[in-house]
Amino acid sequence: MFTRSMNGRARRVTPGVEQLEDRQLLSISVTPSVINLKNLSPTAKVTVTLISDDANSRFLLGEIQNVMITASSGGATINLTGREVKQRLKDVNGDRIPDAIAVFRRSILKSLPAGLATVKVTDGIVSETGTFVVIRPGRPGPHVHHGHPGATH
């Protein structure tokens, strides 16, 4: 391929493709991605979506009645299987393959410690995982008045 430069001369140019990113998207989506476990409302929910974007997730979607869903963090694991408030199949990524959506009460996660947590969907052989963050904001400590040593409230 040839192109003209600013001075009018032809020069040889070879088109190329530059890879800007190399990342794999997770087949498991957890929303919200940050879950505050302090002061849980009885209506607060967490949604786990298994997206049909690779061979493993498509296999699990075909076996959806036989999968186990767990959440784990800091050595604690909670079995979420069968504890859904609502579940349905719906194409969320536009590939015309139904994706699995399971909605749980956030209070089900109350025994997880703060930190990075993992949701795992498995049939015992094939697994897909996704992550979310658990936060447990602490109560503020005593307020010390500046200029008045020892005065707290």
The answer to whether position 32 is within a domain reads yes
The answer to whether position 97 is within a domain reads yes
Segments forming the whole domain that contains residue 30: 25-135
% of the chain with per-residue pLDDT over 90: 51
pLDDT for 42 equals 83
Strands 28-31 and 115-122: unpaired
29 phi and psi angles, rounded to 5 deg: -115, 130
Strand ranges (DSSP E) for 37-83? 45-50, 68-73, 76-79
Quickly list H helices, 1-146. Answer: 55-62
The answer to whether position 12 is within a domain reads no
How would you list the strands of the sheet with 99-105, edge to edge? 28-31, 45-50, 99-105, 86-90
62: CATH: 2.60.40
Q: What is the mean pLDDT of the chain?
A: 81
pTM: 0.71
The answer to whether position 79 is within a domain reads yes
Question: Which whole number is the average pLDDT over 71-96?
Answer: 92
pLDDT for 7 equals 66
pLDDT in tens, 62-73: 888 889 999 999
The answer to whether position 10 is within a domain reads no
Q: How far is CA 14 from CA 9, 10, 26, in A?
A: 16, 13, 35
Count of the separate structural domains present in the chain: 1
The answer to whether position 87 is within a domain reads yes
- What is the residue type of 131? T
pLDDT band at 34 (very low <50, low <70, confident <90, very high): very high
The answer to whether position 56 is within a domain reads yes
Question: Which whole number is the average pLDDT over 113-137?
Answer: 93
Is 108 strand, coil or helix? helix
The answer to whether position 33 is within a domain reads yes
**Residue 22 pLDDT greater than 60, yes or no:** no
